[in-house]
Structure 1
């Protein structure tokens, strides 16, 4: 055998269909991008990205929709006049203003007007001077400065039209370290983020739907422990560390623990019902809708109807009102917020436990049917 014959490689076997490996590789190179695209962006990944886009646009829509043009709508205001007839005349005139910016009601006198402002029944109170020299507007900017500012602007316009002077008396300003009274809102915002993120991370580590009831109970117990520690941390930061919300450390700790657990337990319930989609629903409720309607920069009375209605029924709004009214207004008007937060915590816990128990029963039934068939 010659050297040329020895060096000549044996021909590769012809594959099925008459297409060689080299040809398949050449063709694969031409189709490589499409194949890589299918591998890199699966249908499930595409759906998730589309969901993120929806949440992102909803975020922009919600925040701009809530804050783009704040205007007073039926802001509760008390009117104290020298006589009931004079008070009724002022209330009638004010309540007929275009757009119904104010919901005015007559009170017996300056003392009751002051009490209504401090127990959060009204945003402001107008005390009419019997001598006609200078009326007084009573406000409490610790509950958020935007509402009183809107009422003050309206009152000055009305009083100026009648050539009357007005003096503003801030009965309860925010503390020196609580600029514009927004510390309550940001504290609750931090607690909310911690609550639903903790629930989401536990789901990523152990599955959105726990394998059995015991694991669900352990997860809820972990969330409860996290809520206690998180509430303590927030109370320490807002109180002793920065002095923004002083004098109510134990109350803030309790509120924080409830806010965090309400967010975490309700997120866990959404996850066990909807799987990974439950995290998106929690973000939609608590971030996209809950934060702008919480009454932080603007009270509900200055926002459009949709955000004005939903705000008090979502944990961010309930938590913000609860912290503010506890710290600055001796716990007035806190019954509703306590109930809202407790409802989210209890409902989230009960749904999580009930669905976990139901899923365990169904797994047992399927296992029994499988053994019977075997």
Structure 2
């Protein structure tokens, strides 16, 4: 209940990065007005001009921008977040009224504020619902591979090989469905498939690695860690700024959060810095393989102990339990005396 309800119940709009470009005096007035009307909603970022504001949006440094030049404009990005895009679109009428009042007082004419979606969602997924839904198979698919490999396959290395084959096939299949069929993912087919496969491997390898060390009880790491803990703070369905701090940022250190961000950026923000999400999913995958390797060596040590040490002790024990001259003890020297 907490895992799936908490993000919605506690969600609030706060500290959204917003660029403001224009003359210093106009920028100060707008920032002050927005801070008074909506305290804590925005975290303002400076921009030299419209081109600089667009660059910050395309690199995902900000969710949108307000341009205060001769042609005032509100820049949004529905691909970054449809919710934030709607919020910024709603600022345009208020900004237009404020600027028109100031212009009229100075003897000028009314001002019109345009709204431009700098990075829009694809026509095949105009509301972004497909992109949001694409995040959940990353968790479930990874858990499925790790759990099945642990249950059905004996041997840590065999499991690693099995999940490697599994994630490659699943990555291509999911990209074919989500990108080619539903149109939820944009960008290069094989790069997206690689991102999906690596995210699946991050989850499944961790399950296999833990299970290789502690036995089948390690399967529980999937539902507990990736579904109940990492899923609510992944920010796959809403901006990370909406979550109570610092949980939004913490969620990006897990495969679900990093994988979702990676797919969104690969689809719509090629100018964004993708190093961090790539490193996160790769690190989880490497951690799982290292744990599986440790489990493999542990199994080897246990096998050698069973095959070498235990038989030796068994032989010594058998010698100690066997009389030195069984014939002497079994047959009396003089049967008459025995009688």
Aligned counterpart, 1:360:
300
Aligned counterpart, 1:199:
146
Establish whether residue 171 from structure 1 lines up as the match of residue 124 from structure 2: no
Q: How many angstroms apart in 2 are the aligned matches of 1:372 and 1:274?
A: 28
Aligned counterpart, 2:106:
none
Q: Would the aligned equivalents of 2:138 and 2:256 in 1 still touch at CA under 8 Å?
A: no
Shift of 1:75: 0.8
Aligned counterpart, 2:84:
147
What does residue range 1-374 of structure 1 map to in structure 2 within 5 Å?
A: 60-81=1-22, 83-88=23-28, 90-91=30-31, 94=34, 99-130=39-70, 135-153=72-90, 166-206=113-153, 210=154, 215-365=155-305, 367-374=307-314
Q: Would the aligned equivalents of 1:183 and 1:238 in 2 still touch at CA under 8 Å?
A: yes
Q: How many angstroms apart in 2 are the aligned matches of 1:158 and 1:349?
A: 54
Aligned counterpart, 1:24:
none
Listed one character per residue, the Cα deviations across residues 99-138 of structure 1 (whole Å, up to 9, x for unaligned) are 52211021111110011111111111111144xxx73211
Shift of 1:366: 5.1
Q: How many angstroms apart in 2 are the aligned matches of 1:261 and 1:287?
A: 15
Q: Would the aligned equivalents of 2:202 and 2:284 in 1 still touch at CA under 8 Å?
A: yes
Q: How many aligned positions are there?
A: 304
Shift of 1:357: 0.6
Shift of 1:180: 1.7
CA gap of 1:286–1:154, structure 2 versus 1, over 3 A, is: farther
Listed one character per residue, the Cα deviations across residues 190-226 of structure 1 (whole Å, up to 9, x for unaligned) are 13312211210122224xxx5xxxx211111110111
Q: Would the aligned equivalents of 2:146 and 2:207 in 1 still touch at CA under 8 Å?
A: yes
Q: How many angstroms apart in 2 are the aligned matches of 1:279 and 1:79?
A: 49
Shift of 1:343: 0.5
Q: Would the aligned equivalents of 1:191 and 1:234 in 2 still touch at CA under 8 Å?
A: no
Structure 1 stretch displaced more, 278-287 or 99-108: 278-287
Q: How many angstroms apart in 2 are the aligned matches of 1:151 and 1:302?
A: 15
CA gap of 1:152–1:70, structure 2 versus 1, over 3 A, is: farther
Q: Would the aligned equivalents of 1:74 and 1:102 in 2 still touch at CA under 8 Å?
A: yes
Secondary structure at the counterpart of residue 66 of structure 1: helix
Q: How many angstroms apart in 2 are the aligned matches of 1:358 and 1:93?
A: 64
Shift of 1:292: 3.1
Q: Would the aligned equivalents of 1:144 and 1:180 in 2 still touch at CA under 8 Å?
A: no
TM-score under structure 2 length normalisation: 0.80
Listed one character per residue, the Cα deviations across residues 299-353 of structure 1 (whole Å, up to 9, x for unaligned) are 1112222531322111111111111111112252311111111001111101111
Secondary structure at the counterpart of residue 78 of structure 1: strand
Q: Would the aligned equivalents of 2:241 and 2:248 in 1 still touch at CA under 8 Å?
A: yes
CA gap of 1:204–1:293, structure 2 versus 1, over 3 A, is: same
CA gap of 1:321–1:228, structure 2 versus 1, over 3 A, is: same
Structure 1 stretch displaced more, 101-110 or 150-159: 150-159
Secondary structure at the counterpart of residue 238 of structure 2: coil
CA gap of 1:146–1:98, structure 2 versus 1, over 3 A, is: closer
Secondary structure at the counterpart of residue 296 of structure 1: coil
Listed one character per residue, the Cα deviations across residues 59-82 of structure 1 (whole Å, up to 9, x for unaligned) are x2122211125322211111101x
Q: How many angstroms apart in 2 are the aligned matches of 1:282 and 1:97?
A: 44
Q: How many angstroms apart in 1 are the aligned matches of 2:278 and 2:37?
A: 35
- Listed as ranges, the gaps of 5+ residues in structure 1 are 1-59
CA gap of 1:140–1:367, structure 2 versus 1, over 3 A, is: same
Q: How many angstroms apart in 2 are the aligned matches of 1:221 and 1:205?
A: 13
CA gap of 1:352–1:319, structure 2 versus 1, over 3 A, is: same
CA gap of 1:275–1:159, structure 2 versus 1, over 3 A, is: farther
TM-score under structure 1 length normalisation: 0.73
CA gap of 1:113–1:246, structure 2 versus 1, over 3 A, is: closer
